[in-house]
Amino acid sequence: MDSIPDYLSKTNVSFEKKIQSIVPATINVIKLKKIARLLYKILLLELVKSLWIVYRKSITGDLPFNLSINALNKKVCPKEIQSAIKSLQFP
């Protein structure tokens, strides 16, 4: 999460040059770059969240048939996680 793409790094000026060619000079390009970094992190978090949701569904066998191995009624889950889940006490 701490890493950002090269084009948004502080040392890369290509993003700033591109923005300066698009927006009026009165807009602070450095602030726009900070906003772009925040948007990148938000999108990355959303991607990670969606991947974990798919992973959870694959473990529980809840994926739609066309997206999973569930067509053969199999669940995809590492043995370490299976044993950890079995050891949990649910009410």
| Any domain includes 34 | yes
Alpha carbon distance 19, 1 (integer Å) = 24
| Any domain includes 1 | no
* pTM score, whole prediction: 0.60
| Any domain includes 21 | yes
Alpha carbon distance 18, 34 (integer Å) = 15
Count of domains forming the chain:
1
| Any domain includes 39 | yes
Domain membership of residue 65 as a residue range: 6-87
Written as six digits, the tokens of 24 are 């009026």
Alpha carbon distance 85, 71 (integer Å) = 23
Residue 67: pLDDT band (50, 70, 90) is: very low
| Any domain includes 78 | yes
| Any domain includes 71 | yes
pLDDT tens across 24-35, in order?
888 888 888 889
